[in-house]
């Protein structure tokens, strides 16, 4: 069994690729379930493996980048995730220079305490704001996140600062239990905190076994409940069994979505448990 601990941008890219793979298999009803259940508040549409409609030509991806996909947010902002087959030190400067040749003015930079990520904020025409975060995976691969917003610069800058704060606090996000699978073989799994908009943690696995989807979902649901989560509802949709949960911890409310998707060959299942903290506004 392989067990990976991956970073926030890696999970963003990987999760978009996961959705793309399920969509390419013709599971339209699965995507419907994802549309209703999975995406955090604020996400209007997901475009696995492609840029969202309206993505501007003034923001090209870095040369050699592998696009994981993009998001359209309900406030008309756009987000794209990509990976580069080179270390952060080699990836950052050429791409920042390229953006500046496209009339993007560099307004500020930030770097992680151990150099694990770099964040850049750009402005163009006095209104558009672009935030770039580059995250070092293992000194050979760099994950990238682009956030494009339009409107009040001050409000967008506040959101960028929130994203940076979340990156710093990623290691403290641990709300999901260590899942076990009786009667099933774990082929691969990954667990990661990520923080695009809210504090989040996601577990993904590919398993093989004799259990059917609903039985597997019930077994995982039991483990969530034993860890303090309360079940909200559950159901099935085509090859997908799902459940929703809520957790109150240290003054915060967390919600979780559990998906068990039947794959091929028979007896293969893709598991995704996505937890995110609800951020309340000021009273």
Highest mean pLDDT among 70-74, 92-96, 239-243: 92-96
Asked whether the bond before 6 is cis by omega within 30 degrees of 0, the reply is no
How far is 195 from 190, CA to CA, in rounded Å?
Answer: 16
**Tokens representing 223?**
């483990």
pLDDT on residue 191? 66
pLDDT on residue 7? 35
**CB of 258 closer than 8 Å to CB of 249:** no
What is the 8-class DSSP label of residue 171? G
Instruction: Tell me the pTM.
Output: 0.51
In this prediction, residues 150-154 reach a mean pLDDT of 45
pLDDT on residue 173? 54
- pLDDT above 90 for 229: yes
**CB of 133 closer than 8 Å to CB of 109:** no
**CB of 193 closer than 8 Å to CB of 173:** yes
| pLDDT tier for residue 192 given thresholds of 50, 70 and 90 | low
**Tokens representing 281?**
């506004």
pLDDT on residue 246? 96
pLDDT in tens, 48-57: 778 999 999 9
SS (H, E, C) 241-268: EEEEEEEEECCEEEEEEEEEEECCCCCE
How far is 48 from 69, CA to CA, in rounded Å?
Answer: 4
């Amino acid at each position: 069994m392989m067990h990976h601990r991956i970073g926030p941008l890696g999970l963003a890219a990987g999760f978009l690729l996961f959705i793309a793979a399920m969509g390419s298999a013709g599971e339209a009803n699965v995507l419907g379930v994802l549309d209703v259940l999975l995406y955090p508040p604020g996400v209007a549409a997901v475009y696995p493996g492609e840029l969202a409609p309206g993505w501007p030509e003034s923001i090209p991806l870095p040369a050699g980048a592998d696009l994981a996909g993009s998001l359209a947010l309900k406030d008309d902002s756009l987000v794209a995730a990509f990976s580069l087959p080179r270390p952060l030190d080699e990836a950052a400067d050429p791409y920042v220079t390229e953006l500046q040749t496209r009339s993007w003015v560099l307004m500020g930079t930030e770097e992680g305490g151990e150099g694990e990520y770099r964040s850049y904020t750009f402005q163009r025409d006095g209104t558009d704001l672009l935030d770039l975060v580059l995250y070092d995976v293992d000194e050979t691969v760099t994950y990238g996140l682009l956030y494009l917003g339009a409107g009040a610069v001050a409000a967008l800058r506040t959101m960028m600062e929130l994203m940076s704060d979340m990156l710093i606090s990623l290691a403290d996000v641990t709300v999901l239990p260590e899942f076990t699978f009786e009667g099933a073989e774990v082929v691969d799994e990954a667990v990661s905190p990520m923080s695009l908009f809210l504090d989040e943690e996601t577990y993904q696995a590919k398993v093989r076994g004799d259990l059917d989807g609903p039985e597997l979902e019930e077994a995982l649901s039991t483990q969530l409940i034993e860890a303090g989560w309360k079940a909200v509802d559950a159901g099935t949709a085509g090859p997908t069994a799902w459940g929703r949960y809520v957790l109150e911890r240290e003054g915060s409310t967390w919600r979780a979505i559990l998906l068990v998707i039947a794959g091929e060959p028979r007896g293969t299942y893709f598991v995704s448990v996505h937890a995110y903290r609800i951020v309340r506004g000021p009273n």
